[in-house]
Every structure is written in structure tokens, then in C-alpha cells.
Chains A and B, each alone.
Chain A
């Protein structure tokens, strides 16, 4: 069933592409769908573009592991549309033709702006492409059983085929179809989750027996642990990431246990964990036994206590939308969450997954991932992320180019409102899907991105197949839109305008398609390199770069009469360079490099709070320094 539905979806998408290919012979058709798309279709297509792998896979995954902190992305992403609607939508439509660069350059006809804006578009698109491709690999593995890299390559090939065949027209209709289906099936998933209610022993509707993790009583003396059950032999103990981990042997098999000592009783209790050991020869042990199709990490996530009750009496039966959130967020509810602890032992790389109980009231407010109660740097990181999400939406190239697919500024406005309604509805659903995964034992410890599809699988093959196929189409559609935006920057902004090659219509379209192939290949490589990283987190970076590189130019062009071409160029360069530098030197990137995150020169993960003001400052300073009459704007663009 999953494979059949998947194949049907991909076939439908490709069929649409080839059909619209016959109608998109001109450059206007390729890059902007001829400016003929109805505002309602464009609005849902906006939702399709925007509700990418990051929203469906990443946000739900982050909520499933970090609770409300994942929902912050939903709030920020949606709030960003206010900037798009109130400030950017209509002026961008009035100024532009095919690309973001056209709009920025409408008043100046500057080679420098053409070059800087085109490069910015390519970089932002690539940053946004990484999480989409990672999401593609994540989906393919459980769906078709292929490794991550095969999924990434498969999506890359399909998307390149789509984009190289018909451009923006097919992309728009694919997004319309996908956006609509995503909201419909997500609603079905949430209704099913509410209908199931809560239990402290979730068994996925009887499909997967609930696994009860063991606890052992033990005593401790002279640095040695002695389990009360003599079948277990002590093998070693170590302190990692503030946790005591004990290695025990039973029947020659090693396993890791999490040691906790009662504060008052002094009693030592060992709690069963899950573990992955990667040996020097590359072979893997899962929970002490060789990895195989049958032996893999168990999916996790459940409530241990529901409003003070445990066991069978805690089961709620069907719950309403408010009751669902109230039950999880209750002070006397305890959610079992898991934390990965990594270390080396001899030549082996060991990851131990340790369970802990978090009160419900901590799950449903910020703080588990973004330490709002932490140091001022941690608080700054939180503010920086929220700022980038708020300002980033209106700066994303693949969103900006969609304003050129409708016939008028009023249609651009109306399509944005449809987008806000559709996207807002979906983001409310993300909280339910993420928390549903968190409490139904459907979180994959190795990759939280699959939480929502795995939640769907707990309700049966059909919902899983449909949701996975739609998620796959989500990736296809978003990647298509991004590649159209990036290829437009290369072929239209760089080759035709900046280099002045004066390409004919046909050659212009061909150049765009060749660019799409190259950008597609680059995105495939990046998608493979970033395997396992939460896709929402990666999108947060794309928003930071977009907000830093593009938004100051757009805002100042529209609202500050003294803006000059040199100021815009300086702003774009300063925004791109500062945001990228800070990301490359951030703690999260150091973790990816395999270095100690604490040694990262830039101490926070989200650069927006510094890079956006830097970009604004560069524009203002350079504009004030370059005020010859010919560069000064004759009037505000919006007027």
C-alpha cells in the first residue's frame, strides 16, 4: 500500500508537470506562470510552498521531543506572514517581474544589485533546500526501505525532472494540490489522535505491544555497583553529561543502565536505557545485540502519569481539543522523554538514550530546548530565533516569486490572506500531531523528523501511506519552488541581466533548466551531508540568512527615500556574510564538525539578532555616504 500510493503520487505530480510543460514555452510562463494564477489557487499554493518538510516533519518532530519549544517555530513562521501581507506583498508585486532581484533593482538598474541579489537568492535557496532534502531522505527510509542517501537522490532526480519540464506553472499546481491534501489529512490525523485519547501504556491501537522498561535495585560501594539480581554483573560506570551510566553484563551481553540515587533513602535504582554502539569496523550493536531488520531501537514516547493517575485508571478515552492540551499540560502529568548521551569507549562510539520524566506544565511552555530561564546568551538565542522567524518569511525567494504569478497587487494581497488562513490552521494542527507522537510511542530516537508519519502509521497503513505520500509531495513541491527561484537568479538575474547575454526566450528557458539541474545536484549533496539534523532547526538558519540578506533592502527600499543602490548592495553583502559566518561558527555547526560546541567562537545558534541590524546599518551608512543625485530614489516605491 505505501509503495503503491507513493508511486501514484509521484506519477500524478510528474503527469501534471508534463501537461503544464506544453503550456509554458515563454520565460514568463516558466518563471512566473505567466502571471495568470487565480488568487485562491495561489494562496493555497503559498501554503503548499511554505508548509515544507520543515513544518510537517521538523516542527512535529521537535514538538514530539521538546514540547512547546517546537511550537515556537509554528508561531514564528505564521507571524512572519503578517510582515509579508502588511509590508511586502503589494509593493513587491508592483515593483517586480520575475524575481526578487527585479523588484530590488526596479528603481536603480544597477549591475551590483543584480549580482548581489542573485547571489543572495541562490544562497538562501540552498540553505532552505538542505532541510527539504534531508526530509526527503527521512521519508524514503521507512516508506521504501532505502538508505537516506537514496531517498535524497531520488527526490533530487524527480524534482529536477519537474522543474526542468515546466517551471512555475507545474510547481504552482503541485503546491495547490499538495497544500490542500496536507491540511485535510493532517486534520484526519489529529481527529484520530483525539479519538484515541491517552494511556500510560500506548500500544499504537494494539499494533505494537507497549514495552515496559526494567528497573533494578542495586547497592554501591567503592565505585562498584552490585545489582540485587545476581544475574547481572557489573562491568563499568562512567559520568557523562551529568548522568551516571552503568554497564552491566548478562549472558555475555552488555547493556547500559541509568543510575539514580534516592535523595532521602540513598537507595540506588538502575533504569534500563537504549543504546547504539558503533564499533571500529563499522558494525553496530543495538541494545547489546547486532543490528538487524528485527533488532533496532524501539520507538518511544508515553505519559507515565496522567493528572496524578497511573496504570489502567489513567486512560482517558476520547478527548476534546482543549482537554487534550489540558491533560498533557497538567501539573500532575508526567511525560517520559529521552535524551541522547554520546561518548567513546575504547574504539567504539556509544550513544545511550536515557529516559526522564518531565512534568506536563514544563512540556507546554517554552524552556526544554530554548533555555528561556538560562543564561543571557541562551535568552538571546531565543529572541534571535523568534526575530528571524518573524522577519524571514517575507524575505524567502521562493515565497517572493509567488507574488509574480498572480495578475494584480490586489490578487497578491488576497492570495496572502488565503495563505494565512491555510497555514494558520495547519500550524495549530502541528501542536496536536507533535504531542500525539510524544504520547503514543511513535518517536524515532535516531531521527525525530519522522514523528508525524509514524503517528499516522499507528492508525493504520492507509493514513500512513497517504500522509507519507503527501509529505513526499511536500518535499517535491517545496524543492521545485526553491529550484525555480534559484535557477531564475542564475539564468535571469546573472546571465541575462548582469552579464548582459541578451538571451532569446528559448535560450533563457533552457539556461534556467540547466541551472535547475546544477542546483538540484548541489542540493542532493548537501541533503546527504546533513542527515539526522532536525529540519526545522535547519530552516531556522535559512530564515536567519534570508531575513539578514533580503529584508533590510526590501524594507528600506520601500520606506526610506535616501536608499541608494550602493546601500542595497552593502546591505545584502553584509547580511549574507555576517549571517553565514555566525552560523558556520555556531555551537551547532561545531557539533556537526565533530568539535566541542562550547569552543565555538560565536556562542549562539541563531544569528539574526546581530546579522539583521548589521545589514540595516550597512545600508544606512553606505546610502548616506553615496548620495549623488542620480542614485537617490525619486519617490518611495510604495507611493
Chain B
């Protein structure tokens, strides 16, 4: 038989934490993303406003969305790593 039940990869004690964290970080980013769309719809001329170094709001906000995605991703990964290490340590402690 070729197909077997989907691989579960073992129980992940940090899964609930990571899911909650991921959802909240997603919501936070989605709000910022929605803000970008909203400004374009409500006040498109505001996107021409110069913010710094001659760059306007459209460019600054666009680059900001890209850079903040990476920053949030790194923070998320670090928090997940910390939680996984903490839970692994506590489960090892219980085993001993």
C-alpha cells in the first residue's frame, strides 16, 4: 500500500503557544497592511507626502511592510525557539 496516514511528526508541546503567537502577530501585521490599503483609498495624495531623505510615504510604507515582515519573522522564530527549549527542558526535568 503506497499511502499511509499523514505523518504527524510527533506531538509538539509548543504547538498551542506557537499557534496563538502566530495568530496575534498575523493580526498585527494585517492591521498595518490594511492601513496601507486604507490610506491609498481614503487619501491617495497623502502617499506623496515626503517622509525622510526625499522618500515619500508610499515608498517608505512599502519598504516598511517588507522590512517589518522580516523583523516580525525573526522575532516569531526566536520566541518559538525559546518556548520549545523551555518545554524541552521542563519535560527532561520531569523525566529525571
Contact = CB atoms under 8 A, between A and B. Distances in A.
B90 interface: no
B8 A94 contact: yes
A361 B56 contact: yes
A492 B12 CA distance: 28
A636 B12 CA distance: 13
Interface string B1-36: 111111111001001101101110110011001001
Contacts of B89: none
Contact of B48 (A361, A379, A431): A361
5 contacts: A91-B19, A96-B7, A366-B47, A367-B44, A492-B3
Interface in A309-342: 322-323, 325-327, 329-330
Interface in A77-115: 78-79, 81-83, 85-87, 90-91, 93-97, 102-103, 105-106
Contacts of B9: 93-94, 408-409
Contacts of A408: 9
A86 B59 contact: no
Given A87-B23, A365-B57, A496-B3, 16 more contacts: A82-B26, A90-B15, A93-B9, A95-B6, A96-B6, A106-B5, A106-B6, A325-B55, A364-B48, A409-B12, A424-B66, A428-B63, A431-B62, A496-B2, A636-B19, A638-B15
Interface of A: 27, 68, 71, 74-75, 78-79, 81-83, 85-87, 90-91, 93-97, 102-103, 105-106, 322-323, 325-327, 329-330, 361, 364-367, 372-373, 379, 382-383, 386, 390, 408-410, 413-414, 416-417, 420-421, 424, 427-428, 431, 492, 496-497, 502-505, 508, 558-559, 636, 638-639
Interface in B53-94: 53-59, 62-63, 65-67, 69-70, 72-74, 76-77, 80-81, 84
B67 A424 contact: yes
Given A323-B54, A365-B47, A366-B44, A417 B74 contact: yes
B83 to A, nearest CB: 11
Contacts of A558: 19
Contact of A329 (B16, B55, B67): B55
Interface of B: 1-9, 12, 15-16, 18-19, 21-23, 25-26, 29-30, 33, 36-37, 40-41, 44, 47-48, 53-59, 62-63, 65-67, 69-70, 72-74, 76-77, 80-81, 84
B58 A85 contact: no
Contacts of B18: 90
Contacts of A81: 69, 73
A153 B3 CA distance: 35
Contacts of B23: 86-87, 559
| Shortest 10 CB-CB contacts between residues of A and residues of B | A326-B54, A86-B22, A365-B47, A86-B26, A106-B6, A322-B53, A365-B58, A638-B19, A417-B73, A424-B66
A410 B84 contact: yes
B91 to A, nearest CB: 16
B43 to A, nearest CB: 10
Nearest to B65: A75
Main secondary structure of the interface of A (DSSP, over half): helix
A102 B9 CA distance: 14
Nearest to A426: B66
B44 A508 contact: no
Contacts of A492: 3
Given A86-B25, A382-B40, A329 B6 contact: no
B48 to A, nearest CB: 5
A82 B29 contact: yes
A85 B22 contact: yes
B93 to A, nearest CB: 21
A94 to B, nearest CB: 5
B41 A379 contact: yes
A502 B73 contact: no
A102 B2 CA distance: 13
Nearest to A322: B53
Contacts of B15: 90, 94, 638-639
Contacts of B70: 417, 420-421, 424
B19 A383 contact: no
